[in-house]
Amino acid sequence: MSQRALGELIGRSENWVFKVEHDRMPVDRVSVLITLSQVLRCSIEDLTGSGGFGSRISTGNIEHQHVPAIRQTLSLPTSLLPMRVEGIDAQDFQESVNHAWSVYETQEEERYQDVGSQLPMLLRQGHAVLRDARGEEEPAVLRHLISLYSLHQIWLRRVGEPVLARVAADRGLALADGAGDPALLAAAAWNLSCVLTSAGDVSDSYELARQTIAECRPDEDSSAEHWSAFGALHLQGAVAAVRATKGPAAWDLYKGARTAAKRVNGDSNHWHTCFGPTNVAMHEVHLKAEEGDASEALRVADNVQINPALPLERRTRYLIEVMNCNRVQQDDYATVYVLKQLMEQSPEEITFSPLVREAVAELLKREKPLWRGDLRKIAKHIGLAA
């Protein structure tokens, strides 16, 4: 098959295929590997020469110590979760969920440890409080329980547990679907769309975003919270669309997100979406990178001013994107420079990032005196060097 023919089949340019075949650019997206395996009628293992990109890649085949307890809790019917929970009211539960989110979004070290230890009991408490809620109390409890399921899914995705993340997101969406609140539905759909996209189910993620957007459109009197969930769903739909080789649809959704950002009065974090002008600008970098144009992505990134008020997790994920663009460009010095920033900003986050681990492993094979010391410190931190 010619490079042009293969490129047309997977929605990439002939030049992209040439660079991949000549080892000038890595294939570092699971969704691209899936598409390639389908077109070439082979397995991902055939393409990678390994066991594929399983759920343990980000943690070096080590299951996080809190995953078994979380798995056990998510495996129970929701009717059984409130059992053996006493002495907690709606206010206590809501404050506990807000605190857990604050730890996850702002704490520089041990946040996966601290949050993971809280999740199983928080889930039991949430369902107990929801069971006992009455009148005006019930909607607020429901919102915080859905928010808690969102925290479950992002924590589980980051530690390499996509199946459990899907369970948590599905449960959150089921709760939102029965609430009759379009903002709540948009937020829960965004949550599930994140999981689907991350797992490579990009067509399903795109359809979920597209159809939910049509049902949850805000009006002139809608809250900033509603516009944030609506705009975030556009951004996630755009990412899913570009990975599904639906470029025009992706950029249409991106334009919709820019419009929504004008309605939220600056950067915000409603529903923990980090939605606002800065996140929209960050996603332009991401979409350019997904299209295989790392140089254009870096050009756009030069003009993105990172808002320090955004949650640590979002700022870190963006820097990982910029690092990977430099890696694709084979600018080793710039790659190590951004890795150093990541190490200083969030030493725990980079431990769980597959892109960071892959970049460091590559750099160790061709280390240079100018940045060898910095690289080895990072490699030792994430367990790739003694």
Architecture category of domain 182-305 in CATH: Alpha Horseshoe (1.25)
pLDDT tens across the length of the chain (386 residues): 778 778 777 777 777 788 788 777 777 677 677 778 877 877 776 777 654 443 333 344 568 999 999 999 999 999 999 877 777 899 999 999 999 999 999 988 889 999 999 999 999 999 999 999 988 899 999 999 999 999 999 999 988 898 999 999 999 999 999 898 999 999 999 999 999 998 888 999 999 999 999 999 999 999 999 999 999 999 999 999 998 889 999 999 999 999 999 999 899 999 999 999 999 999 999 999 988 899 999 999 999 999 999 999 899 999 999 999 999 999 999 999 999 999 999 888 888 888 898 899 999 999 999 999 999 999 999 988 87
Residue 11, token pair as written in the block: 């929605």
CA 302 vs. chain centroid, Å, equals 22
Confidence (pLDDT) at 25: 73
Distance CA 61, CA 8 (A): 35
Cα torsion 119, 66, 319, 249: sign: negative
- Cα separation, 58 vs 42, whole angstroms: 24
* Contact in structure between 157 and 195 (CB atoms under 8 Å): yes
Residues 31/202, Cβ–Cβ less than 8 Å: yes
Q: C-alpha distances in angstroms, 345 versus 266, 324, 328, 349?
A: 23, 17, 22, 9
pLDDT reported for residue 43: 74
Q: Is the dihedral of CA 303, 261, 232, 236 positive or negative?
A: negative
DSSP state of 384: S
Q: What tokens were used for 70?
A: 């979380």
- Fold for domain 1-53? 434 Repressor (Amino-terminal Domain) (1.10.260)
Are the beta carbons of 353 and 58 closer than 8 angstroms? yes
CA–CA separation, 44 and 352 (whole Å) = 22
Domain residues of the chain, as ranges?
Answer: 1-53, 66-179, 182-305, 311-386
State how far the Cα of 273 lies from the Cα of 180, in Å rounded to an integer.
21
pLDDT for position 54: 38
Break the chain down into helix, strand, coil percent, rounded to 5: 70, 0, 30
